[in-house]
Amino acid sequence: MKVSRRAVSLGLGILGASPALASAAAEGLVHELAAGVEDLRAASEAYIYGYSLVTMEITRRVMTNVATSEASRAPMGQFVRMRSYPDASFRDVTAPNADTLYTTAWIDVGKEPWILSLPDMKGRYFLFPMLDGWTDVFQVPGSRTTGTGPQTYAITGPGWKGKLPAGVVEYKSPTALVWLLGRIYCTGTPEDYAAVHALQDACQVYPLSSWGKDYTPPAGTVSPAIDMKTAVRDQVNALSGVEYFTLLAELLKTNPPAAADAPILPHLAQIGVVPGKDFDPKAADPGILNRVPKFSFDRIMLHFVTGPEIKNVNGWRFTAATGLYGTNYIQRALIAAVGLGANRPEDAVYPTSLKSGSGLLARKYDGSHKYVMHFSKGQLPPVKGFWSLTMYDENYFFVANPINRYSISQRQNLKTNADGSIDLYIQHDSPGPDKESNWLPAPAGVFILMLRMYWPNPKKPSILDGSWKIPPVTYVS
């Protein structure tokens, strides 16, 4: 129900007539206002449902709006091959990593399948998660699932039927839009960079119609209308209700809802979004359309604090509800907003810590103090892939430091204590030559820590079932 100006004016007029009529009018207005809240809530459910799909599309536009592959961008159907880890000047993406080199591509499998060919990784850790338009990781070839030998896949779209070449494994995408988000482990030395570059160059992606032929990808089309400077999340959040639902309706034509999404479709229809059709802005109250973006994003971010999927252990917040979301739309929207491209928990978990201490004693990390993260003997993060502790400033970017170390892991040859335990020294100034191997440099001011755990132990001890707990970061001075 819509709350009209006429209804409010009529209600105010009746309030001056008699207490009985005023009471009845007030009760009627409460019902109308409640109905308005219900309309806003229904519109918000539709907004949250589509948030991941809209975010993926805006991300695709920005990352593919170039004529040729360059740095972190490439046209549709072409690989971005990141050749080195970013330094402290890098500002394209928040929370960058210094553990894997990305090899990524955006493809459209709506018209025909695309072939992904991966070389023999020779035992090196890697994974190539495939995200559909809704950010679900529908397949994830890699060390954990398919091994490190050579492998070839055909990624097919919704409804595709046909014959594939011998030896090609079919991976069916639920949507036309697919993001290949490959990661290959690299130690960062010149020799290892060269080895990984060769592997990246051997990764190939091309349409099925070019099987057995020499394939040269066409140049990309550059649109000056696409905002290449504003962060994707800010672009999505800046869309008006009409702009947002217009785009969502268009995307639903080639990225259809899953069968399990049937209960949400009435909410979409109520706001004017029917899969397969253009958006009907007349279906919803303009006031609701104006209010729904901010109201909905506030709900999404509140979920980061109140959501049952978010765990808090010794000051570390993390979730194992990533990569596959089902009908948990608000969790899916949250991850799209703060960690787009997140893996399935079997492949990676990303605990993050903003403060030392707990409760009323919790304080933001600050480089004017010193901290220690202590691992008892045999209690380093249990993983089958790798782990690392990364330092970020308060905006989730790398921190310039005298030893150019942005993360710390076992590849630093960590020094052990006499009892076999390991201490990581987290501070601005060097802890001294004898401890520098275990030093994670901090900025002078506020900072944030992220523990990456790739391929966490599937059996105890494991962060996935809580049988391994992350130790706290302790304030020392």
User: Is residue 346 located within the same domain as residue 212?
Assistant: no
Last residue of a domain, which of 306, 341, 363? 306
What are the tens digits of pLDDT across the range 273-303? 999 999 999 998 999 999 999 999 999 999 9
pLDDT number for residue 304: 85
Last residue of a domain, which of 283, 306, 329? 306
User: Is residue 248 located within the same domain as residue 333?
Assistant: no
Distances (CA, A) of 6 to 10, 39, 109, 435: 6, 19, 51, 74
User: What's the domain count of the chain?
Assistant: 2
Q: 77 lies in a domain?
A: yes
What are the tens digits of pLDDT across the range 252-271? 999 999 999 999 999 999 99
CATH of the domain at 173: 2.60.40.1610
Of 64, 100, 57, the C-alpha closest to 82 is 100
Q: 223 lies in a domain?
A: no
Of 208, 198, 184, 206, the C-alpha closest to 85 is 184
Q: How far apart are CA 197 and CA 190, in angstroms?
A: 11
User: Is residue 44 located within the same domain as residue 171?
Assistant: yes
What are the tens digits of pLDDT across the range 48-89? 999 999 999 999 999 999 999 988 899 999 999 999 998 998
What are the tens digits of pLDDT across the range 348-390? 999 999 999 877 788 999 999 999 999 999 999 999 999 999 9
User: For the residues of 354-410, what is the DSSP string, one character each?
Assistant: -EES-GGG-EE-BTTS-EEEEE-TT-S--EEEEEEEEEEETTS-----TT---EE-G
Q: 221 lies in a domain?
A: no
Q: How far apart are CA 111 and CA 115, in angstroms?
A: 13
Q: Could you give the percent of the chain with pLDDT greater than 90?
A: 83
Label residue 92 by pLDDT band (50, 70, 90).
low
C-beta neighbour count of 345 within 10 angstroms: 19
User: Is residue 317 located within the same domain as residue 295?
Assistant: no
Residue 345 has pLDDT above 50, yes or no: yes
Mean predicted lDDT score pLDDT of the chain = 91
pLDDT number for residue 69: 94
Q: 222 lies in a domain?
A: no
Helix (H, G, I), strand (E, B) or coil at 157: coil
Residue 157 has pLDDT above 50, yes or no: yes
pLDDT number for residue 425: 98
Q: Is the four-CA dihedral 19, 24, 27, 29 of positive or negative sign?
A: negative
Q: Contact 16/33 with Cβ under 8 angstroms?
A: no
Q: How far apart are CA 306 and CA 328, in angstroms?
A: 14
Label residue 339 by pLDDT band (50, 70, 90).
confident
The position carrying tokens 């070019």 is 210
Label residue 16 by pLDDT band (50, 70, 90).
very low
User: Is residue 277 located within the same domain as residue 318?
Assistant: no
Q: Contact 470/313 with Cβ under 8 angstroms?
A: yes
pLDDT number for residue 31: 44
Q: How far apart are CA 463 and CA 385, in angstroms?
A: 14
The DSSP H or E segment spanning 311 is: strand 310-313
User: Is residue 386 located within the same domain as residue 420?
Assistant: yes
pLDDT number for residue 11: 30
User: Is residue 319 located within the same domain as residue 365?
Assistant: yes
User: Is residue 298 located within the same domain as residue 406?
Assistant: no
Label residue 313 by pLDDT band (50, 70, 90).
very high
Look up residue 440 and give its two tokens. Answer: 């994670």
User: Is residue 173 located within the same domain as residue 322?
Assistant: no
What are the tens digits of pLDDT across the range 24-49? 444 543 443 454 688 899 999 999 99
User: Is residue 382 located within the same domain as residue 454?
Assistant: yes
Q: What type of residue sits at position 14? A: I
Question: What domain range is 401 assigned to?
Answer: 313-475
Residue 445 has pLDDT above 90, yes or no: yes
pLDDT number for residue 91: 74
Q: 149 lies in a domain?
A: yes
pLDDT number for residue 36: 67
Q: What type of residue sits at position 57? A: E
Q: 448 lies in a domain?
A: yes
Last residue of a domain, which of 282, 306, 330? 306
Instruction: Burial-class residue 259 by CB neighbours within 10 Å (0-12, 13-18, 19+).
Output: exposed
Residue 325 has pLDDT above 90, yes or no: yes
Q: How far apart are CA 152 and CA 217, in angstroms?
A: 19
Label residue 6 by pLDDT band (50, 70, 90).
very low
User: Is residue 116 located within the same domain as residue 246?
Assistant: yes
Q: Is the peptide bond before 471 cis (omega within 30 degrees of 0)?
A: no
pLDDT, greater one: 305 or 114: 114
Q: 124 lies in a domain?
A: yes
Q: 32 lies in a domain?
A: yes
Q: What type of residue sits at position 369? A: H
User: Is residue 201 located within the same domain as residue 326?
Assistant: no
CATH of the domain at 343: 2.60.120.600
